[in-house]
């Protein structure tokens, strides 16, 4: 019996050691924004790209309040990739408590500079608003509280000598909800920071006469970095028959230092090998350029991303 037991134990032990070792699953949680913005459809496209091309990856997309929330979640390790506006990334790195960062978010690392967000102010035509200075006394939705859009709203108003106290009413609502209020004549103006061709503004323009409000170039110049002068081309929205000057801010894809170099490398590589898929998800992706991806980041590049850019000749040794 002793011999039989020993043999059986040896066989069982051999079976244990012979069993294949399962590959650890790679979790990639992509932090985006509201479903009516640009971050969300872009994040969905990235999730499909990563799920199909990163072995063992389990990818999900999380709809959030966008930039500020995404950066805080990344610092906490509750996401592997997040979309954020450049000014929000800068405030996060500095630890600007006023805009929602209780301390410097020192774990943040950049994957890529992607497309610019354009500050797009849409007003009901009957409100008589044509330029940002005309917002005084009007009812305005500035996006979710402490979102990247709301930070942009504060900056633009400040650039024309206004504050929230100078407005008739302030609403802190996501894009789609702002538009619904405007359709019901409960709101005059919405400020939305996103890529061009914003779905919520398109929806509004399809049923209401609207004006795309200008932010003059001298106002943008006065704001300084990270704001740059931009243009919303004529025809971007129904009824918009001329170019409209505005402010733009570059978006970044951000990760954190605990994401492995290999995963960060693959996430970076697959962006630029699948630009057609991203452009099909949203036209804003047409502005994603490899030659700009490693430039002007407010936070250090992740070593995995840096490796990819060196391979592509985008960084000097």
Report the pLDDT value the prediction gives residue 119, as an integer from 0 to 100.
97
Give the number of other Cβ atoms within 10 Å of residue 21's Cβ: 5
Query: Which structural domains are found in the chain, ordered by start?
Result: 26-116+250-311 (3.40.190.10), 117-249 (3.40.190.10)
Do the Cβ atoms of 105 and 300 come closer than 8 Å?
no
Can you give the pTM of this predicted structure?
0.78
Give the number of other Cβ atoms within 10 Å of residue 8's Cβ: 10
Q: Distance (Å, rounded) from C-alpha 36 to C-alpha 148? A: 15
Report the pLDDT value the prediction gives residue 140, as an integer from 0 to 100.
98
Q: Tokens 């790195």: give the residue.
A: 93
- Can you name the residues that pair with 194 across neighbouring β-strands? 118
Report the pLDDT value the prediction gives residue 9, as an integer from 0 to 100.
42
Burial of 275 (0-12, 13-18, 19+ CB in 10 A): middle
CA distances from 130 to 167, 185, 216 (A): 15, 18, 11
pLDDT in tens, the chain (317 residues): 343 434 444 444 444 433 333 345 789 999 999 888 889 999 999 999 999 999 999 999 999 989 999 999 999 999 999 999 999 999 999 999 988 999 999 999 999 999 998 999 999 999 999 999 999 999 999 998 878 899 999 999 999 999 999 999 999 998 999 999 999 999 999 999 988 889 899 999 999 999 999 999 999 999 987 899 999 999 999 999 999 999 999 999 999 999 999 999 999 999 999 999 999 999 889 999 999 999 989 999 999 999 999 999 999 76
Q: Nearest 5°: phi and psi at 206?
A: -75, -20
Q: Distance (Å, rounded) from C-alpha 212 to C-alpha 201? A: 10
- Please give the structure tokens belonging to residue 128: 């008589």
Our measurement of the distance from residue 24's CA atom to the centroid of its chain's CA atoms, rounded to an integer in Å, reads: 29
Report the pLDDT value the prediction gives residue 101, as an integer from 0 to 100.
95
């Amino acid at each position: 019996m002793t011999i039989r037991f020993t043999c059986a134990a040896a066989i069982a032990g051999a079976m244990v050691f012979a069993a294949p070792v399962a590959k650890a699953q790679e979790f990639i949680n992509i932090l985006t924004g509201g479903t009516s913005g640009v971050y969300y459809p872009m994040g969905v496209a990235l999730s499909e790209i990563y799920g199909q091309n990163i072995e063992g990856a389990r990818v999900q997309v999380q709809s959030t309040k966008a930039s500020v929330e995404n950066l805080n979640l990344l610092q906490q390790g509750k996401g592997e990739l997040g979309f954020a506006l450049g000014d929000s990334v800068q405030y996060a790195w500095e630890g600007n408590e006023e805009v929602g960062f209780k301390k410097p978010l020192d774990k943040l690392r950049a994957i890529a500079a992607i497309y610019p967000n354009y500050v797009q102010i849409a007003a009901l035509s009957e409100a008589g608003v044509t330029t940002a200075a005309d917002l005084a006394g009007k009812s305005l939705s500035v996006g979710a509280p402490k979102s990247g859009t709301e930070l942009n709203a504060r900056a633009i108003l400040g650039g024309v000598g206004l504050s929230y106290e100078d407005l008739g009413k302030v609403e802190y609502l996501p894009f789609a909800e702002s538009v619904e209020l405007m359709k019901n004549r409960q709101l005059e103006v919405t400020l939305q920071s996103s890529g061009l061709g914003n779905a919520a503004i398109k929806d509004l323009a399809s049923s209401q006469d609207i004006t795309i409000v200008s932010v003059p170039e001298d106002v943008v110049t006065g704001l300084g970095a990270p704001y740059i002068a931009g243009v919303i081309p004529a025809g971007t929205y129904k009824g918009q028959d001329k170019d409209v000057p505005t402010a733009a801010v570059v978006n970044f894809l951000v990760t954190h230092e605990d994401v492995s170099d290999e995963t960060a490398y693959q996430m970076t590589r697959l962006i630029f090998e699948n630009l057609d898929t991203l452009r099909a998800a949203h036209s804003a992706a047409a502005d994603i350029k490899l030659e700009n991806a490693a430039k002007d980041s407010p936070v250090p590049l992740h070593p995995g991303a840096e490796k990819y850019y060196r391979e592509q000749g985008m960084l000097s040794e």
